[in-house]
């Protein structure tokens, strides 16, 4: 298995990345732009500091996801600890998209310039 921390650190060097596409069509969140994309089928939320702005299953999720268009991804990181498959995506607005892999059916796929595409799926 590839070391997620090392790969995310390498992906982070691609930032900033302009968000040209952002769609929430339950159960898939798609973000992307020129030469990069993030596809999420895991639970997610958008936070600003300690305030949760929206969760994947909130009524306003579709509208808030659409409002990410025009922003930039400024950072990728692994949440919590090195054994986690959970990631954080910092947005230029000050928000952070947090993605949580809790089962083998919940995953994310990230493609950034000059890096291999990375798909993380929890082991069964």
Structure confidence by residue, pLDDT tens digits, 5-52: 888 998 999 999 999 999 999 999 999 999 999 999 999 999 999 999
Alpha carbon distances (Å) from 122 to 42, 59, 83, 103, 119: 11, 28, 11, 6, 10
Cα 100 to Cα 41: distance, rounded to the nearest angstrom: 9
Look at residue 119 and tell me if it is in a domain.
Answer: no
Look at residue 14 and tell me if it is in a domain.
Answer: yes
Cα 76 to Cα 60: distance, rounded to the nearest angstrom: 24
- Asked if residues 13 and 74 have their Cβ atoms less than 8 Å apart, the reply is no
3-state secondary structure of 73: strand
User: Model pTM?
Assistant: 0.90
Look at residue 76 and tell me if it is in a domain.
Answer: yes
Cα 73 to Cα 8: distance, rounded to the nearest angstrom: 13
* 64: nearest Cα among 79, 49, 53: 53
Look at residue 33 and tell me if it is in a domain.
Answer: yes
Q: Which domain holds residue 65?
A: 4-114
**Is the pLDDT reported for residue 103 higher than 80?**
no
Give me 112's structure tokens: 């950034």
Look at residue 28 and tell me if it is in a domain.
Answer: yes
Number of domains observed in the structure of the chain: 1
Look at residue 84 and tell me if it is in a domain.
Answer: yes
Structure confidence by residue, pLDDT tens digits, 49-93: 999 999 999 999 999 999 999 999 999 999 986 567 899 999 999
- Asked if residues 62 and 68 have their Cβ atoms less than 8 Å apart, the reply is no
Look at residue 23 and tell me if it is in a domain.
Answer: yes
Look at residue 15 and tell me if it is in a domain.
Answer: yes
């Amino acid at each position: 298995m590839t070391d997620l921390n090392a790969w995310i650190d390498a992906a982070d060097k691609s930032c900033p990345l302009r968000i040209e596409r952002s769609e929430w069509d339950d159960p898939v969140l798609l973000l992307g732009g020129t030469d990069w994309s993030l596809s999420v089928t895991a639970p997610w939320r958008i936070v600003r500091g300690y305030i949760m702005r929206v969760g994947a299953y909130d009524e306003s999720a579709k509208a808030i996801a659409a409002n990410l268009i025009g922003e930039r991804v400024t950072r990728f990181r692994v949440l919590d600890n090195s054994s986690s498959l959970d990631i954080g995506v910092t947005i230029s607005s000050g928000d952070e998209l947090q993605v949580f892999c809790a089962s083998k059916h919940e995953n994310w796929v990230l493609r950034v310039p000059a890096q291999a595409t990375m798909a993380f799926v929890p082991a069964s």
